[in-house]
Amino acid sequence: MDRRTFLRNSAFAGSITAGLAAPAYAQEKRTLTMVTTWNRDLIGVHDAAQRVATAITDMSDGTLTVELKAAGEMVGAFEVFDAVTSGQADMYHGADYYFIDRHPAYAFFTAVPFGMTAQELANWYYADGGMDLHDQLGERFGLKSFLGGNTGAQAGGWFRKTIDTPAGFEGLRFRMPGLGGEVLDKLGADVQTIPGAEIHQALASGALDGAEWIGPWADEKAGFHKVAKVYYTSGFHEPGAGLSVAMNRAVFDSLTRAQRAIVKTASLEAHQWSLSQFLSRNGAALLRLKAAGVQLAEFPPGVWDAFGTASTETLNQYMDDRLFADIRTSVTESMRKSASWIRRSDGAYRAQRERVIG
């Protein structure tokens, strides 16, 4: 090869190398504001929101920075839905059943009475169309929604006295949001929906006679055992409570394809991460609560039967709404399918494990 040909080829190769080294385009750096239904002191749930915010920031290599605003720092806990749909904030992290006044079907993406366990919720969401239905519901309000956390099975709640019959709920001032609260209303309770950060004060002052929050780990941290001593460890209302991330749909659509994938992945990863946090910590916390003098209790069969009857009535009253009916049907079919196998596999195994090795 002569010198002239060598230089010509070298220049061509250099131009290719330079082209490959330069970025195709410089991504604009953006800050997204996330509002939440959680006070910063509410362990587990605030942690899940922070997990999403940090993951989006890290995975996008700083092209997206999520600035988290806890409840009250920008808007109130129950105002985050409107803040995001109006464009005041870019996204929220919260429990979607706080927004059943916007549409009752939002309850299915947190929990409904006698609904799905955490694993059944994941099965429905990932494998049986739940994610698409969440998207359909969000689209009505200009939102792009994903699961973004899970508390696992929630406790039945804190009481100052035992509940021996359904009549024990009559006139009881009790904190419970979502459709579970509507069930207790049918049993005669004075149901109140207040943010998690306000429960302790309401119990301590006597404004509430009882309350449910999450489970032993979060409840111990909140100090409920200092103001109520009867703890029902199993409840009908939230057998596997999902948390959600919802982004203003116009904001989501304005992101690059890679950034949209990051938001989705970060949200769904937090679902499994937060579930592990709760399940790994609840057992030890329950032992500490018992050692502190808390009376652990279970609702008797007659109370469970009343929960069941009122739960069916509560869900049935919304069946005139087509989307609610479609989502309920999808949930029920998936739950029955999953439960059939889980009962015969995991259920049988766990019973034998406890019998054989304790």
Res. 22 pLDDT band, cuts 50 70 90: very low
- Look at 282 and 17; give whichever has higher pLDDT: 282
pTM (two decimals): 0.91
- Tokens describing residue 129: 């169309």
- Indicate the average pLDDT of the chain: 93
52-111 confidence digits (pLDDT tens): 999 999 999 999 999 999 999 999 999 999 999 999 999 999 999 999 999 999 999 999
pLDDT at 9: 43
Res. 343 pLDDT band, cuts 50 70 90: very high
Res. 336 pLDDT band, cuts 50 70 90: very high
- Whole-angstrom CA distances from 68 to 31, 46, 89, 138, 292 are 10, 10, 10, 21, 35
Which amino acid is it at 227? V
- Which residues, listed in sequence order, are joined to residue 232 by a DSSP beta bridge? 157, 297
Q: What angle do CA 226, 172, 183 make, to 5 degrees?
A: 110
Share of the chain above pLDDT 90, in %: 92
Residue 23 has pLDDT above 50, yes or no: no
Whether residue 279 contacts residue 240, with contact meaning beta carbons closer than 8 Å, is answered with no
Res. 8 pLDDT band, cuts 50 70 90: very low
* Rounded mean pLDDT, 109-129: 98
130-183 confidence digits (pLDDT tens): 999 999 999 999 999 999 999 999 999 999 999 999 999 999 999 999 999 999
Q: Residue-wise over 14-51: b if at least 16 C-beta within 10 A, else e?
A: eeeeeeeeeeeeeeeeeebbbbbbbbbebbbbbbbbbb
- Tokens describing residue 171: 């006139």
Whether residue 275 contacts residue 118, with contact meaning beta carbons closer than 8 Å, is answered with yes
pLDDT at 12: 36
pLDDT at 4: 41
CATH 3.40.190.170 fits 30-149+240-280, yes or no: yes
pLDDT at 184: 98
Each domain of the chain, given as residue ranges in start order, spans: 30-149+240-280
213-270 confidence digits (pLDDT tens): 999 999 999 999 999 999 999 999 999 999 999 999 999 999 999 999 999 999 999 9
pLDDT at 27: 62
pLDDT at 28: 84
Residue 20 has pLDDT above 70, yes or no: no
DSSP letter for each residue of 87-120 = TSSSEEEE-GGGGTTT-GGGGGGT--TT---HHH
* Rounded mean pLDDT, 20-40: 75
299-323 confidence digits (pLDDT tens): 999 999 999 999 999 999 999 999 9
Residue 288 has pLDDT above 90, yes or no: yes
Whether residue 59 contacts residue 68, with contact meaning beta carbons closer than 8 Å, is answered with no
